[in-house]
Structure 1
């Protein structure tokens, strides 16, 4: 059967309870379009929040999320249903680049190289199998790297977003937690999107009740302003390519520039993407009942190629989205055709400047509330990797192998080599985690038994 020959099942009607739809199957076109729209809503909040906090254009991110999803599906031959949204794994590295004076071109250049590295890893996995990744980056290491990436973002929230409107931030964060915990099924999966709407409404109400707010991020002069300012929305057109200027006068669509120092700051994000992608492929394999080990390399390479292509035009990095995997888990519909529909809808949204103007007008307090939860969740994903893989911290060798790297990454320690080159924060922490862990786990006689120490 052709790669695009989706077989219609259940007579085009809603599947009976407990029934599923395979990746190469579909429901009626009407129902498939509805499922595609559902996938757009699921990915929507995080896909445009992360470009905003990275200082990149959200319209371009949405546009390329659709383009990159189609690329991914073609490369994996429609065998792995996944949506590629904006990756959070590079947010901390991007913040570090900007702290050191880098602009958006430096950001996208560094991320482009990371995409190429991930693509090469994918090619290696395709031919050598996934075992060598687990040997170099076992769960103990990937968990530590993801943890230090997430927790390294705490100062970004505290200094840049939370001071803009702490009370709106607190209410937005509280709503997001409650929505995730209390809402049923699909609604809990789109808690970020719902929190954005909630925060927008609260900000608008506060403008009406309390008037303007005087605030500013750390290091910036406080100004008096409305929380919700849609002055640019009315001037924006309904259809057109993403345009406008980012910080430092860089165009929204721009060519990347390259710096070794900045590349090293974001390179640890590749480890997080490897962990994300392999975990998501395994989740899809379990849900669909298909062995997808042979496609693991294709998935990694596809995500790397997609990230490199998006960054080449000034877009945001991509990754497979757990939110959309959650939608599949809830609906048991794994048809890749629904993802093509979602991709087309995202491309149309990306070609609507008015939509981008609304996104760019997101109140600072709303971003503060959402990021304080999301950034913490990124860090805790590292702990989740440890728990799921039963990393043994009763063994002191595991603890000492990871400890220094985590503190170096979260604490922002630095190591200067020359006037133009230094390692700090996430980059230094990741190197220490990998090196120290493998050094600590060299086979050596146990002090009490004389046998080699066993490390999970």
Structure 2
């Protein structure tokens, strides 16, 4: 499809059995609007949870999420359905940067991440994506994703500040337990959309619990206006924290490539030529968000779930979703309501979310059949994970500091390629880590 426009699928009222509504098609506008609003609900819980945890303005993040989605649809030629929501991979670097230099410094890191991702997208579009697979094989990608999630684990528990304020599980363990319990139960009790919105359900239940326990303050909500512009923050740059954001580029690459392949598989369409455009679009959207004080964006698995359930892959639904999110972003009262979510609720939800990020890394290993009997793979993952989880810190000079996520990412990429090069030169690339690690003495696949 060369431009913006959609053919009506069938009679526009339903999806034929065994068929899908392709990106260039749509149902009737009332049905398309309804599906678009489902996409808003699907992305909503996770997208607003990031600013709730990091302290970024929710309305600003939602604004750049909507604008980023429109930009994504335009750059990909309206051929790749996707909603760009807040990326959890930014939580750790944003938290560290905010503690060091405030939200402006964190915005600078987000902007730099977006620029780098956009450059990667441009290179992929011109040269193809094979070099990404060579630089970041599944063992490296999975390790980076896993260490980002597990590095956040102490944040879920929470730390008390000198002023006596606390965040996370420690702040209100009862509320946190109720929130986490509600998420767990919603996951297995409900089917369809409600089951996929288990995190949002848990947050709502936890918020109600916090209300009953007197842990919620509504002063800012009452004083906020119903309609108004989001709060924008100009970025600033601190070399000491920029290293925290660089590993996020690897995660965003993995998420975008995974999204393209998922949509291609579900629609039985070759989407590989759009990979570079998708990376470029997300990079530009993240750059724009950083320039105005919003959180970085990424493609959303939650919306993949909506498409899989409805069999509707129409990009028209995403234009509707972007318009709805944009309208919500112009309500300061809504932003204040999000900011009123107490620490106990956030700690309960974060306990699951951070763990899920870690497990997603392991999922990459499993899906790609990474062979951990190969000592190169085993050592790469083992060293990088400990560096990231233990939050190793290196201060090469005053004002310049690299912490667990940055160092763990460097270890994963550097160790893998160094060890692989030496192993190939020495002819030891097929050696098992130990005889017991090779079931039945099967041959290794060399990954």
Give the Cα–Cα distance (whole angstroms) in 2 for the partners of residues 45 and 406 of structure 1.
Answer: 28
Structure 1 residues 392 and 354: alpha-carbon distance in aligned structure 2, compared to 1, 3 A threshold: same
Residue 126 of structure 2: aligned partner: 127
Q: CA deviation at 1:196?
A: 1.7
Residue 221 of structure 1: aligned partner: none
Moved more, 419-428 or 64-73: 419-428
**1:309 counterpart = 2:297:** no
Q: Deviations over 1:162-219 (max 9, x none)?
A: 11211111111111122123311222211122112111222223x3xxxxxxxxxxxx
Residue 105 of structure 1: aligned partner: 104
**1:263 counterpart = 2:242:** yes
Give the Cα–Cα distance (whole angstroms) in 2 for the partners of residues 373 and 145 of structure 1.
Answer: 18
Q: CA deviation at 1:332?
A: 0.3
| Residue aligned with 1:23, SS | coil
Tell me if the contact between 2:169 and 2:344 (Cα under 8 Å) persists in the aligned partners.
yes
Residue 239 of structure 1: aligned partner: 227
Q: Deviations over 1:275-309 (max 9, x none)?
A: 10100110000111110111000000100000000
Give the Cα–Cα distance (whole angstroms) in 2 for the partners of residues 384 and 363 of structure 1.
Answer: 31
Give the Cα–Cα distance (whole angstroms) in 1 for the partners of residues 401 and 222 of structure 2.
Answer: 46
Residue 373 of structure 1: aligned partner: 352
**1:202 counterpart = 2:212:** no
Tell me if the contact between 1:95 and 1:156 (Cα under 8 Å) persists in the aligned partners.
no
Q: CA deviation at 1:413?
A: 1.1
Residue 182 of structure 2: aligned partner: 175
Q: CA deviation at 1:64?
A: 1.2
Give the Cα–Cα distance (whole angstroms) in 2 for the partners of residues 54 and 123 of structure 1.
Answer: 30
Give the Cα–Cα distance (whole angstroms) in 2 for the partners of residues 371 and 453 of structure 1.
Answer: 38
Q: CA deviation at 1:48?
A: 0.6
Tell me if the contact between 1:109 and 1:258 (Cα under 8 Å) persists in the aligned partners.
yes
Give the Cα–Cα distance (whole angstroms) in 2 for the partners of residues 229 and 327 of structure 1.
Answer: 34
Equivalent residues in 2 for 1:29-48, closer than 5 Å = 29-48=29-48
Give the Cα–Cα distance (whole angstroms) in 2 for the partners of residues 432 and 141 of structure 1.
Answer: 9
Structure 1 residues 286 and 63: alpha-carbon distance in aligned structure 2, compared to 1, 3 A threshold: same
Tell me if the contact between 1:441 and 1:455 (Cα under 8 Å) persists in the aligned partners.
no
Tell me if the contact between 2:48 and 2:86 (Cα under 8 Å) persists in the aligned partners.
yes
Give the Cα–Cα distance (whole angstroms) in 2 for the partners of residues 122 and 325 of structure 1.
Answer: 21
| Residue aligned with 1:319, SS | strand
Tell me if the contact between 2:180 and 2:349 (Cα under 8 Å) persists in the aligned partners.
yes
Q: Deviations over 1:315-342 (max 9, x none)?
A: 1100000000110001000010000000
Q: CA deviation at 1:87?
A: 0.6
Q: CA deviation at 1:396?
A: 1.9
Equivalent residues in 2 for 1:334-353, closer than 5 Å = 334-353=313-332
Q: CA deviation at 1:17?
A: 3.9
Residue 435 of structure 1: aligned partner: 414
Residue 284 of structure 1: aligned partner: 263
Match 2:446 to one of 428, 431, 455: 455
Tell me if the contact between 1:445 and 1:453 (Cα under 8 Å) persists in the aligned partners.
no
| Residue aligned with 1:14, SS | coil
Residue segments in structure 2 that go unaligned for 5+ positions in a row: 159-166, 433-442
Give the Cα–Cα distance (whole angstroms) in 2 for the partners of residues 176 and 363 of structure 1.
Answer: 16
**1:444 counterpart = 2:425:** yes
Give the Cα–Cα distance (whole angstroms) in 2 for the partners of residues 455 and 258 of structure 1.
Answer: 42
Tell me if the contact between 1:398 and 1:455 (Cα under 8 Å) persists in the aligned partners.
no
Structure 1 residues 419 and 450: alpha-carbon distance in aligned structure 2, compared to 1, 3 A threshold: closer
Q: CA deviation at 1:450?
A: 9.6
Q: Give the alignment's TM-score, normalised by structure 2.
A: 0.92
Q: CA deviation at 1:401?
A: 2.4
Give the Cα–Cα distance (whole angstroms) in 1 for the partners of residues 49 and 328 of structure 2.
Answer: 15
Q: CA deviation at 1:454?
A: 5.8
Q: Give the alignment's TM-score, normalised by structure 1.
A: 0.90
Give the Cα–Cα distance (whole angstroms) in 1 for the partners of residues 19 and 168 of structure 2.
Answer: 45
Structure 1 residues 453 and 387: alpha-carbon distance in aligned structure 2, compared to 1, 3 A threshold: closer
**1:139 counterpart = 2:138:** yes
Q: Deviations over 1:14-53 (max 9, x none)?
A: 2244331111111111011100110000000010110121
Q: Deviations over 1:222-250 (max 9, x none)?
A: xxxx312222222222111023xxxxxxx
Residue 147 of structure 2: aligned partner: 148
Residue 73 of structure 2: aligned partner: 73
Residue 161 of structure 2: aligned partner: none
Residue 438 of structure 2: aligned partner: none
- CA RMSD across the alignment: 1.8
Give the Cα–Cα distance (whole angstroms) in 2 for the partners of residues 448 and 324 of structure 1.
Answer: 40
Give the Cα–Cα distance (whole angstroms) in 1 for the partners of residues 431 and 5 of structure 2.
Answer: 61
Tell me if the contact between 1:303 and 1:318 (Cα under 8 Å) persists in the aligned partners.
yes
